[in-house]
Amino acid sequence: MRAIWKGSINFGLVYIPVSVYPATKEEKISFRQLRATDLSPIRYKKVAEADQKEVPADQIVKGFEYEKGKWVTLSDEDFEKVQIESTHSVEITDFVEQAQINPKFFYKPYFLEPQKGGEKAYALLHKALSTSGRVGVAKVAIQKREYLAAVKPDGLFLILELMHFAQEVLEPASLNSAEDKTVSPQELKMATALIDAMTTEWEPTKYKDQYQTALMQLIEEKAQKRAPAAKPPAPRVQPNVIDMVAVLQQSLQRASHQKKSSASRSAATKSTAALVKRKRRSVAA
């Protein structure tokens, strides 16, 4: 894994040298545009609006339109001149209870790895944040952009989670919140019971991207010139619910049945695994 940034975490007089590594990756199938007649890949040319002529890469500059039709151009040297305090450091300015921060402010995590000489302070910060339930709020510049960020404990590591600035977070003022709808005590009780019945341990690996899987299957079938397998029609969307209590009751029964089936499968799997282990031990003996 390659570090995308190296610098330090600073708070008070504490200095912790760290490297930043990606903590997530995007699973995405990429496509090229082709000419239908011969499947020739299509290229994109950069042309000037003024005369529609193609522009070589060495003649392209970055510009900002500060008024209609008026531009300021910036060179690589100009960008290098923009040095801000957080360019080479994660400067923690505040510690905040994590529960106080709306989850929609967070959007991309990175691993923080301690560098030589920073292991003790790194371990101390990790332990202090884990014990206190707080996160460090900081600003950091990565790839020529400044971000708001949080330093958080995650397992054995600290993570740097980039955040949106307040002006980037939209408020749903014009959306319908359904707050005018009344909920009966019976409906609330059954909805809570349904949530309890569907509550389980968090297992992130059990959630799969079914669209990506189905799309890759279709691509493989077409590549092998096989007819795509017939798929059952998608279930129809349920019409407006009239009797919410009846729907909750049916859902609760279904959830209870699924939970029992899942528990039975899990017990059978464990039993089979134990039997295999016993057989292996007897063979070894």
How many CA atoms are closer than 13 Å to the CA of 100, on its beta-carbon side? 10
Are 163 and 107 in contact by the 8 Å Cβ rule? The answer is yes
Per-residue pLDDT at 132 exceeds 80 = yes
pLDDT at site 275: 61
Q: Between residues 271 and 95, which one has the greater pLDDT?
A: 95
| 3-class DSSP state of 260 | helix
Average pLDDT over residues 213-218: 82
End-to-end alpha carbon distance in the chain? 43
pLDDT at residue 239 greater than cutoff 60: no
- Residues 138-185 have pLDDT tens digits of 998 887 788 999 999 999 999 999 999 999 998 887 778 777 788 888
Report how far residue 161's alpha carbon sits from residue 98's, in angstroms, rounded to the nearest whole number.
Answer: 12
pLDDT band at 283 (very low <50, low <70, confident <90, very high): low
Give CA–CA dist 191/197, Å, rounded.
10
User: Does domain 5-23+82-168 match CATH 2.40.290.10?
Assistant: yes
> Looking at 135-144, 190-199, 210-219, 262-271, which range is the least confident one?
262-271
- Residues counted in the chain: 285
Does residue 115 surpass a pLDDT of 60?
A: yes
pLDDT band for position 285 (50/70/90)? low
Sketch the domain layout of the chain as residue ranges.
5-23+82-168
**Beta strand segments in 44-100, E:** 62-67, 70-74, 89-97
Computed over every residue of the chain, the mean pLDDT equals 84
Reply yes or no on whether the pLDDT at 234 is more than 70: no
